[in-house]
Chain A
Amino acid sequence: MNAPGAALLVILLAFAGPEEDLAAALAKLKAVAPEGKGNEDAARAWGIIVAKGPDALIPTLAAMEGADARAANWLRSAVDAIVENAVAKKRPLDLNKVEAFVVDAKGSEIGRALAYEWLARLDPTASERILPGLLDDPGRELRRHAVGRALTQAEALLKGADKKTALEPLRKLLSSARDRDQVDAIVKHLKTLGVDTDLQALYGVIAKWVFITTFDNTGMKGYDVAYAPEKAVDLKAALPWKGDKAVRFVSHTTPEPRGKIDLNAVLGKEMGAVAYAYAVVDSPAERPVELRAATNNAVKIFLNGELLFFRNEYHHGMTMDQYVGRGKLHKGANQILIKVCQNEQKDDWAQTWGFQARLCDPLGGAVPFTNVTPEVKP
């Protein structure tokens, strides 16, 4: 905005009513765009919002609904400033309204999580009061807090005289927990009570695959080459490769609880190579899905022919769920194709070639599917 425009904005806001100018200021924060567009207007609006003090708190939290990640941080810092200033100046904050905002599951997920952060800090009794009702909250952060509290209670039971009293609480918690550290802790505790957990089912692991290999990745150039499987997967086709080697089809089902597959073990060690992993899953309904994967290798992830995710990076660490592709499962059969590229690094730590993948909802809970990948016989 140029200087006259900025002046006009200030004048308009000066003549607007308190609610109108707050709404206009919040809209400016939500209007920020890539590469700093809207920053100057947003900075002025940020000052207006914070100057309004506690009256602007709930509207600012509510404005997080529909805000993108960029705007959310403008809004979040305004909330922090409002509360921080109010506490410093001993201005009253209506914590009942904040609590009502937190427990209203229809509100903004991140706004509710932020409201809870401040509520828990300003009212130490709030957590015990509201977290028991948030174990299955649609928001990841609030659910995490609720599971964390309940997990602590279950762990106290495990330390008691009758450890088995922890069994049912832990079983219930397993259905609520979504973050891997909490899931792993619950599974470990259940194991001590003699209960095994099917982690593949719990996480929605894609365990059965057909591998189509090997394609050339000399000089890491194969990453950008759309080999035949990226156009159509034909498990009966004869595909050429370099030299006198022929493309192979290998079926493999991983027993690893989190779906890890070591391609060096399954296919034999190859360097400068591309493998495709192909799976077919049957979904009982059309639904949005996250196809989460992890690998130390360069990767492309396709769902029903659509490229959901790509990352041309080698040997910088592999952590479950490090890559997330967002797409849609059709009702019925869905084709998943993952391209896993190995480079030619000679370092000991650069010999890994593999991946893991799962299908889940945005919270990380498994979505229902049946793996119907065809078996390929050698």
Chain B
Amino acid sequence: MIALVLALALADDWTQFRGPSGMGVSNETGIPLEWSKEKGITWTADLPGVGLSSPVVAAGRVYVTATSGHEQSLLHVLCFDAKSGAKLWERRFWSTGSTQCNRKTNMAAPTPAADATRVFALFATCDLAALDRDGNLLWYRSLVGDYPTIGNNVGMAASPILHKDTLIVALENVGDSFAAAIDARTGVNLWKNARSSKINWTTPVLSSRRGRTEVLFQSPTELTAYDAETGSKVWSHEAEKFSTIPSPIVADGTVYSPGGPFLALKPGDGSAERRWESKVLGTATASPSIYKGRLYTVDSAGIVSCADPADGKVLWKSRTKGPHSASPVIVEDRLYLLNEAGATQVLDLKDEGKLLATNELGDPMLASPAVSGGALYLRSDKKLYCISK
């Protein structure tokens, strides 16, 4: 059975926040250009609560998290069949951590991570559950039960990422602030490193270098790379102001790090060299992307910038209608950018960001889309949408 399930796991699975690459890029084909409430929606599914987490897709299953109840007391993990949208199972957990947060976010902010056989759901309450694809509970951690001062009053949002059998979590906060690797099979800590006590919502990113996998954590004043297996510090770089919302990305051995200024870093021995820095490439909430040798950012005014990743020089800009909380996805030379009103603007990357379509669903959305199996998945506080031809 496991072999069969593994065989189902396709290269186009969207297994974590911003997909397997961590930068919102998909090799899919056939994603629709246009849709509306009346056409192009393959299926929708009702959600039992609100959420800012992205859907993830693995081996034909779509996983979504949500939160509901008085003071967000309930946390939901839902599994849907990717083809039909049928709900296969739902598991619920009580919030064990504080549910206080900024009005714009909620407890279902971190995106889950999945592989062909498992899903790992972290919530802003610091509840962390591992379930198999059939909804059987593999393990559960109340991280606030383990580390009572963890959390902040604004809301946590960094998503977990999966590296083989290691689940990496970033829980930077004003209390017990740390980065940790957790055994995905058992839920016990493999390593745990103290981090900055400043609040931070960036998701860690994996990078392969010199035959090992590094995991990069971006804090307000330091970007740190740890060996993913051991947790030992490999290199770090200090800056006056790294962003605390958009996350860094890695492409061709270079780290592209949002902040003021935006930095391109070449990791070395113990430190990193600044290849370039840019005060022009602004970011707000959306994380950057690298696609076909071009760097893309979205700033607070909704301006999409295309830059040369070799030197940071801006090649063109295209204005979109924001505000945007979601990060964009790039498929087939098109950038899909969802605004908070639920309109997805599709830009042509081969034509300096020319607007090809604006697809209104009239359902406010802050979660980044997922792309898998020829479909685009969007989620609002009420519904999960599958959009495909």
CB 8 Å contact bits of B81-122 with A (1 = contact, 0 = none): 000000001111110101011100000000000000000000
The interface residues of chain B lying within 8 Å CB-to-CB of A181 are 70
A40 to B153 alpha-carbon distance, docked (Å): 33
Establish whether residues A84 and B93, one from each chain, have CB atoms under 8 Å apart when the complex forms: no
A270 interfacial contact with B, CB 8 Å: no
Expressed in whole angstroms, the Cα–Cα distance for A69 and B139 within the complex equals 14
Q: Does A81 contact B (CB under 8 A)?
A: yes
CB of A76 within 8 A of chain B? yes
**A155 on interface, CB distance cutoff 8 Å:** no
Bound: A77/B139 CA distance, A: 11
Give the docked Cα–Cα distance between A31 and B153 (Å): 31
Interface residues of B in 153-178 (CB under 8 A from A): 153-154, 174-175
Q: Is A47's beta carbon under 8 Å from chain B? A: yes
Nearest-neighbour CB distance to chain A for B95, whole angstroms, equals 9
B70 touches A179 (CB 8 A): yes
- Number of cross-chain contacts by CB at 8 Å: 103
Q: Known contacts A312-B174, A313-B153: does B136 contact A34 (CB below 8 Å)?
A: no
Pair B188/A317 contact, Cβ less than 8 Å: no
Q: How far is the CA of A311 from the CA of B154 in the complex (A)?
A: 14
- A324 nearest CB across to chain B (Å): 10
Complex Cα gap A68–B91 (Å):
19
Q: Are A69 and B100 in contact (CB under 8 A)?
A: no
Known: A39-B186, A69-B94, A73-B94. A46 touches B137 (CB 8 A): yes
Q: Smallest CB–CB gap between A321 and chain B, Å?
A: 10
Q: Which residues of A contact B140 (CB under 8 A)?
A: 32, 39, 70, 73-74, 77
Cα-based distance from A144 to B91 in the complex (angstroms): 23
> A73, B139: Cβ atoms under 8 Å?
no
Report chain B residues within 8 Å CB of A84. 89-90, 135
Given known A110-B94, A322-B98, A322-B153, contact A47–B136 (CB-CB < 8 A): yes
Complex Cα spacing A42 to B140, Å: 9
* Cα(A58)–Cα(B65), bound, Å: 27
Q: Does B127 contact A (CB under 8 A)?
A: yes
A36 and B186 in contact (CB under 8 A), knowing A80-B90, A84-B89, A313-B152? yes
Q: Are A69 and B138 in contact (CB under 8 A)?
A: no
Chain A positions within 8 Å of B91 at CB level: 77, 80-81
A residues 7-45 in Cβ contact with B at 8 Å: 32, 34-37, 39-40, 42-43
The answer, yes or no, to whether A129 is at the interface (CB within 8 Å) is no
Residue B42 CB within 8 A of the other chain: no
Q: Does B30 contact A (CB under 8 A)?
A: no
From B100, B102, B146, give the contact of A34 (CB < 8 A): B146
Which of B73, B102, B142, B186 counts the most A-chain CB atoms under 10 A from its CB?
B142
Q: Could you tell me the distance between the alpha carbons of A316 and B136 in the complex, rounded to whole angstroms?
A: 37
Neighbouring B residues of A72 by C-beta, 8 Å: 94
Q: How far is the CA of A40 from the CA of B137 in the complex (A)?
A: 11
A46 CB contacts on chain B under 8 angstroms: 136-137
* A50 adjacent to chain B (CB < 8 Å): yes
Which residues from A are CB-within-8-Å of B153? 313, 316-317, 322
Q: Mark A309-346, 1 if CB is under 8 A from B, else 0.
A: 00111001101001000000000000000000000000
Interface string of A52-81 (1 = CB under 8 A from B): 000000000000000011101110111011
The answer to whether B102 touches A317 (Cβ under 8 A) is yes
Q: Measured between alpha carbons, how far is A34 from B94 in the docked complex, in Å?
A: 17
Report which of B89, B154, B174 forms a contact with A317, defined as CB distance below 8 A: B154
User: Judging by beta carbons under 8 Å apart, are B135 and A69 in contact?
Assistant: no
Contact: B100 with A73, CB < 8 Å?
no
Docked pose: A69 CA to B183 CA in angstroms: 22
Chain B, residue nearest A37 (CB): B188
Q: Evaluate contact between B137 and A77: CB separation under 8 angstroms.
A: yes
Measured in the bound complex, the distance between the Cα atoms of B146 and A98 in whole Å is 33
Name which of A39, A40, A322 has the most chain B CB atoms within 10 A of its CB: A39
In the bound complex, CA of A322 to CA of B154 (Å): 12
Asked whether any CB of chain A lies closer than 8 Å to the CB of B331, the reply is: no
A74 CA / B140 CA spacing, docked (Å): 7
CA distance A40 to B188 in the complex (A): 10
Compute how far the CA of A184 lies from the CA of B152 in the bound complex, rounded to whole angstroms.
26
Q: Which residues of A contact B89 (CB under 8 A)?
A: 81, 84
| Residues of the B chain whose Cβ atoms lie less than 8 Å from the Cβ of A43 | 136-139
Which of B92, B127, B149, B189 is in CB contact (< 8 Å) with A80?
B92
Cβ–Cβ contact B100 & A319, under 8 A: yes
Chain B residue at minimal CB-CB distance from A144: B70
Collect the chain B residues with CB atoms within 8 Å of residue A319's CB: 100
> B142 — which chain A residues lie within 8 A by C-beta?
69-70, 73
User: B141 contacts the other chain (Cβ, under 8 Å)?
Assistant: yes
Cβ of B268 < 8 Å from any Cβ of A? Answer: no
Chain A, residue nearest B71 (CB): A179
Using CB atoms, name the residue of chain B closest to A69: B96
- Considering the chains assembled together, what is the distance between the CA atoms of A43 and B92 in angstroms? 16
Q: Is the CB of A39 within 8 A of B70?
A: no
The residues of B that contact A50 with a CB separation of less than 8 Å are 136
Query: With A69-B94, A70-B96, A77-B137 given, is the CB distance from A35 to B102 under 8 Å?
Result: no
Q: How many Å lie between the Cα of A53 and that of B149 in the bound state?
A: 38
Q: Is the beta-carbon distance between A317 and B100 smaller than 8 angstroms? A: yes
Nearest B residue to A50 via CB reads B136
Complex-state Cα separation, A46 to B139, whole angstroms: 10
Contact of A322 among B73, B100, B186, B188 (CB under 8 A): B100
Which residue in chain B gives the minimum CB-CB distance to A110?
B94
Complex Cα gap A311–B182 (Å): 27
Q: A34-B146, A69-B145, A312-B174 are in contact. Are A40 and B186 (CB under 8 A)?
A: yes
Could you name 8 residue pairs across A and B whose Cβ atoms are closer than 8 Å?
A: A35-B189, A70-B96, A73-B127, A77-B93, A78-B137, A81-B91, A84-B135, A313-B153
- The list of the 6 closest CB pairs from A to B, nearest first, reads A36-B188, A316-B153, A39-B139, A36-B187, A69-B96, A313-B174
Known: A72-B94, A76-B92, A110-B94. 6 other contacts (CB 8 A): A36-B139, A36-B189, A74-B137, A74-B140, A181-B70, A316-B174
